[in-house]
């Protein structure tokens, strides 16, 4: 522990993505904990792309605790810069971060590794005919490169088709709106089957998985409000048998490592109500660390305080 406290740590937060405000909250929580516990740390608020990619931003640091969510922090950018600067950092490398950040790429990798994912396809805003053969009753529309549930919509089919028969077979207006909403963010637009079931998340630090948490949102899905306002959202330990707990742990580690991820992260998945199978949704390489965040909640179930959790993340990043 004494050796860790000799490290000059930069907690890098903020950034220029849609998740900037959440990132600052996460970074602030990490910084305050490190200072309180005698670490040599400073909080660095990234306010521009130029600042992010400048080696001068990280001068004199031994370790960067990456707390930038979304673009800049989870897409491999800062990791590439820190590799050039030969500075250690928390979490996955640039290649695995890019894979995890792109939901199209990550889903294909999961499938190749024998993991189940919701049936999905990429679509475009102005090609309405792509929905002519869509027979799904419920679908999820989302951008492929965004976090915190930004740009996500869940739709229920209004009738036999996704077209409005009263408007000369025009695309259903709710679907059109969802496509435009997703298109306003980075990446491709993904449409995928809605899997009804229990929403679970598993935190990973080093080679260890923490107890799974079931998320019960007050709304139809775990949207931005449910994540960060926390009003009405329930977080409970997943009710799993020892055998199922072991299976889930192995499954999540496989998903995490299939992308080449390391250090720490979080795997989000659904346990299907219909068949009991686990469907991998995504891997988060820079999870939130606010008072309502899931990784600290999972660590608490494992008997670790927030302060202890940070030490474990630092250890996993410098080993």
**Given the residues 20, 98, 99, 266, the one annotated as active site:** 266
DSSP H or E run through 228: helix 224-228
Q: How far apart are CA 144 and CA 301, in angstroms?
A: 31
Q: Is 99 a catalytic residue?
A: no
How many Å is the Cα radius of gyration of the chain?
20
Write out the E strands in the chain.
Answer: 8-14, 40-46, 63-66, 88-89, 120-123, 138-143, 153-156, 163-164, 170-171, 189-193, 197-205, 208-209, 213-216, 234-237, 264-272, 278-284
The model's pTM = 0.90
Return the higher-pLDDT residue of 218 and 181: 181
Confidence (pLDDT) at 219: 67
Q: Is 266 a catalytic residue?
A: yes
Q: Is 19 a catalytic residue?
A: yes
How many residues can be counted in the chain? 319
Q: Is 116 a catalytic residue?
A: no
Q: How far apart are CA 140 and CA 157, in angstroms?
A: 11
Q: Tell me the C-alpha to C-alpha distance, in Å, between residue 289 and each of 25, 68, 143, 195.
A: 8, 11, 23, 27
The region, left, alpha or beta by phi > 0 then psi within -120 to 50, assigned to residue 48 is beta
Domains of the chain by start residue, with CATH: 2-89 (3.40.50.20), 100-117+196-318 (3.30.470.20), 120-193 (3.30.1490)
Confidence (pLDDT) at 41: 97
**Given the residues 210, 228, 278, 279, the one annotated as active site:** 228
Q: Is 40 a catalytic residue?
A: no
Confidence (pLDDT) at 169: 60
**Given the residues 70, 73, 76, 288, the one annotated as active site:** 288
**Given the residues 26, 96, 284, 317, the one annotated as active site:** 284
pLDDT tens-digit profile of 42-75? 999 999 999 999 999 999 999 999 999 999 999 9
Confidence (pLDDT) at 174: 87
Question: For 65, which DSSP code?
Answer: E
197-205 and 189-193 as β-strands: parallel, antiparallel, unpaired? Answer: unpaired
Confidence (pLDDT) at 230: 56
How open is the CA angle 255-259-264, to the nearest 5 degrees? 75
Contact of 141 with 179, CB cutoff 8 Å: yes
pLDDT tens-digit profile of 277-317? 999 999 999 999 987 799 999 999 999 999 999 999 999 99
Q: Is 172 a catalytic residue?
A: no
Confidence (pLDDT) at 185: 84
Q: Is 278 a catalytic residue?
A: no
197-205 and 213-216 as β-strands: parallel, antiparallel, unpaired? Answer: antiparallel
Q: Is 284 a catalytic residue?
A: yes
Q: How far apart are CA 319 and CA 40, in angstroms?
A: 19
**Given the residues 18, 26, 106, 148, the one annotated as active site:** 148
Cβ of 19: how many Cβ atoms within 10 Å?
25
**Given the residues 19, 128, 172, 192, the one annotated as active site:** 19
Question: For 128, which DSSP code?
Answer: G
């Amino acid at each position: 522990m004494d050796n860790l406290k000799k490290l000059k740590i930069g907690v890098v937060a903020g950034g220029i993505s849609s998740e900037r405000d959440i990132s600052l909250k996460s970074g602030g929580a990490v910084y305050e904990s490190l200072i309180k516990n005698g670490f040599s740390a400073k909080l660095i608020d990234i306010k521009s792309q130029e600042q992010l990619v400048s080696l001068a931003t990280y001068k004199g640091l031994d370790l960067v605790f990456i707390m930038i969510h979304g673009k800049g922090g989870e897409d491999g950018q800062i990791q590439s810069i820190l590799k050039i600067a030969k500075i250690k950092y928390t979490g996955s490398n640039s290649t695995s971060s890019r894979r995890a950040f792109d939901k199209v790429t990550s889903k294909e990798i999961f499938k190749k590794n024998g993991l189940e994912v919701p049936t999905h396809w990429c679509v475009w805003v102005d090609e309405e005919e792509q929905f002519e053969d869509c027979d799904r009753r419920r679908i999820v529309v989302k951008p492929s490169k965004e976090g915190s549930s930004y740009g996500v919509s869940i739709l229920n089919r209004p009738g036999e088709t996704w077209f409005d028969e009263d408007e000369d077979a025009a695309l259903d207006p709710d679907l059109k709106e969802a496509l435009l909403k997703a298109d306003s963010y980075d990446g491709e637009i993904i449409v995928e089957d809605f899997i009804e079931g229990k929403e679970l998340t598993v935190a990973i630090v080093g080679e260890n998985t923490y107890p799974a948490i079931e998320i019960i949102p007050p709304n139809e899905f775990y949207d931005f409000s449910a994540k960060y306002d926390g009003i009405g959202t329930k977080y409970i330990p997943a009710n799993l048998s020892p055998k199922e707990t072991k299976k889930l742990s192995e499954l999540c580690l496989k998903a995490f490592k299939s992308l080449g991820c390391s250090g720490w992260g979080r795997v989000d998945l659904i346990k299907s109500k219909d068949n009991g199978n686990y469907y991998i949704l995504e891997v988060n390489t820079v999870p939130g660390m606010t008072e309502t965040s899931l990784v600290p909640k999972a660590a608490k179930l494992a008997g670790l305080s927030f302060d202890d959790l940070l030490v474990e993340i630092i250890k996993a990043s410098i080993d």
